[in-house]
Amino acid sequence: MITGVLSVSPYGLDRQPVTALVLAGARTDRDPVARMAGVSNKVLANVGGEPMISRVLQTLEKAHTVGKRILCGPAWETVQGNPFLGTLIESGNVQWVEPQQGPSLSVGRFLHEHPQEFPILITTADHALLTAEMVDYFLREAQQVRADVAVGLVPYSLVVASYPQSKRTVTRFTGGGFCGCNLFVLFTPKAERMVEFWSHIERERKHPLRLIRTLGGLVLVRYVLGRLSLSDALDRLGRRLDLHVKEILLPFPEAAIDVDTSADLALAEQILAERRRKG
């Protein structure tokens, strides 16, 4: 773990550990993974023998680029009733903050109450396959670009080549399709504009065509005709919000696999078993 504290430029990490905000609120009380696992929140479901929320927090602890860990959710009653989470929060190793009604509102509330925490890594507690290598790669690549917001993506070609059975949301641009991987870095206070925009489009996160439509009719036409590149789309988004938004492409297909369904859970179990076999 890096312990030195160095100055941070507005657009770079300068080797200072980044604060990680882990979103662990429940979107709905009828989550299929939670029901199948018999838990109140899907992030408490066991994957590879331990709760996925535990996996994510341990991964961030191992990452050299991460310092403070802040857990947004689950509800305080859930934390108090869970021995692992209760002990972790009580020890001070992880800070807990109350979740809001949805990820974007949770992030927005945190930024409003903790403006000193930039830059901030945002990820989710259902990212059971996340590794310290992925986190360090993403943050180190992100520090090379001058951006207000960096977004982690995985080329769909990598995902389908390794896990053709995995059903992921794919946004297709010229040059190929891309999958989100629940990794974001907010470098500057201007990034709050992205969070506000996110709150308006959150319901469309699984519908690429609807997301592209928010950037304007001409952009939508180019997308439908297969003439819109990823960089063009992010540039258009950046100009709309007066932000510099940059993509970071990760070479890890597992980074695109979070646990949203029973099929995702089974695949995560399979991948983790293979990791254990390989040591």
Domain residue extents for the chain: 18-191+244-278
Per-residue pLDDT of the chain (279 residues; tens, 9 = 90+): 333 333 344 444 556 799 999 999 876 667 889 888 889 899 999 999 999 999 999 999 999 999 999 999 999 999 998 888 999 999 999 999 999 988 999 999 999 999 999 999 999 999 999 999 999 999 999 999 989 999 999 999 999 999 999 999 999 999 899 999 999 999 999 999 999 998 888 777 778 888 888 888 888 888 888 889 999 999 999 999 999 999 999 999 999 999 999 999 999 999 999 999 987
Q: What is the pTM (predicted TM-score) of this model?
A: 0.90
**Cβ(11)–Cβ(17) below 8 Å:** no
| Residue 38 CB neighbours (<10 A) | 8
Closest residue by Cα to residue 251 from 147, 181, 184: 181
For residues 181 and 258, give the distance between their C-alpha atoms in angstroms, rounded to a whole number: 8
Answer whether CATH 3.90.550.10 is correct for domain 18-191+244-278.
Answer: yes
What's at 172, amino acid-wise?
A: R
